Amino acid sequence: MGESDAVSEIFFSCQPIFDEKQNQWGSELLFREGLKNKFPSIDEDTATSRILSANFLSGKELDDSLRYVVSFSETALLGEIPFSIPVTRLVICVVEKSKATPMLVKQLEAYRKAGFMVLGDSKVFSNRWQRHLHLFDVISVNMTQESLADWAGAISDYPDIQFLARKVETKEEFTLAQQQGFRLFQGYFFEQPLIQSHSDVAPSVISLLDACIVINRSPYDIDEITEVISKDVSLLYKVVTSANVLAKSKKKTITNPKQAVVYLGLESLRRLISLLIMSNMNHQDCLHLQNAAILRAIFMQQSAAMFKDMDADEAFLVGAFSLLDAMLGAPMEDLIGQLDIHKDAKKALLSRSGRYGDLLDLCKHIEHANWEWVSTVCEKMALKERVVLKVFDNARYQTQTLAATMQV
């Protein structure tokens, strides 16, 4: 492809977790922006995806005897991103602001059924998660914020849950936590957090978008999917690595690209590519932009039915990709120029020209309540304004419904 792969240094804090005998039970991986343990300014989904890509999909050898705690937002959990990672290694940490919606509860049940461990913080005992404590294998309690003595009752009432004492800084605190029934421990008493870095070669955005298009257009054409993935060496490496780390048996390494694609299957491929696209995003408001792009895609797809010479799938892609430049912080020309989409769809995205361009223009005017321009564009396209607004309302309702089910 025309865009070169980017080599980047991914920094992360590796904070060990120990058991009662002071043997290392696992490590918590937290994204950092450099060697100084600085908190990231990027959004949590981007941080999570970079941690996963650099640690699990870059060929680095991890200790199979340890568990790796990684935080996931509601969006990442509902998007099934953890399924890209081997179950035996990953502990899913549910972030504090996640809400106990029916969709998320159901998804966590699926993760536990698949064998993942789930970690939550102490607030799950005082909010709506209280009704779903069975979902958690580990509960963490911060010693600097709470009295450990207050947890003795809960620890005895829930013998199936391991309680983790965080911020253990002295031997006395460690002994106190043990006496109260805590079984896992983390803090400076054991070890200072270690900032590590891994070099990660990110697949080009162009390759990822091309793979998205092909997988959605030709989901059962294994040869075409393999071909588009093989054009980007980094993407191919991630796919083969992912297939190997997810493989149940280590006896035979997967090296053939087609074999890796077949082994992963469509859903795992989609999740992997979603994870890699997220790792390229650098905007805090990306979620808002994604929702806006979904609305445009649905509106344009449904509006395309009013024209004989407009393809609904291409119209959907124009709407879906119309905010990529803002989402990925790159010029639209660099993102779209080489993609395998119809030339009329490219024209619409690059210069808002042609039928697709007019429809995209119409969508933008409705979004900004520019009603005079809405009338002008409707007249130009021989559309009834009332019908168009009804389609837009329907698309907005579908987007809101989708967003509500994902709790974004």
Residues of the chain with pLDDT under 70: 1-10, 33-43, 58-61, 191-194, 196-202, 248-252, 255, 281-287, 337-340, 402-408
pLDDT at 3: 40
Region for 403 from its dihedrals, namely left if φ exceeds 0, alpha if ψ lies in -120 to 50, beta otherwise = alpha
Say which amino acid occupies 149: A
Q: What is the pLDDT of residue 33?
A: 61
Residue pLDDT, tens place only, 239-295? 888 887 777 555 667 767 888 888 888 888 888 887 887 777 654 456 677 778 888
Q: Quick one: DSSP state of residue 100?
A: -
398 — phi, psi (to 5°)? Answer: -65, -40
Quote the CA–CA distance of 269 and 225 in Å, as a whole number: 10
Q: For the chain, where do the domains classified as CATH 3.20.20.450 start and end?
A: 8-198
Residue identified by tokens 């035979």 is 252
Can you tell me the distance from the alpha carbon of 301 to that of 162, in angstroms, rounded to the nearest whole number?
49
Please state the pTM of the whole predicted model: 0.64
**Residue 129 to residues 97, 121, 148, 262: CA-CA distances in angstroms?**
11, 10, 20, 38
Q: Is 340 exposed, middle or buried (0-12, 13-18, 19+ CB in 10 A)?
A: exposed
CATH number assigned to the domain covering 8-198: 3.20.20.450
pLDDT at 5: 43
Instruction: Say which residues have a Cβ less than 8 Å from residue 369's Cβ, sequence separation at least 6.
Output: none
Q: Which residues pair with 118 in a beta bridge?
A: 92
Q: What is the pLDDT of residue 201?
A: 61
DSSP assignment of 181-213 equals T--EE-STTT---EEEEEEEEEPPHHHHHHHHH
pLDDT of residue 263: 86
Instruction: Give the dihedral sign, CA 256/262/263/269.
Output: positive
Closest CA to 222 of 195, 168, 261: 261
Distance of CA 177 to the CA centre of its chain: 35
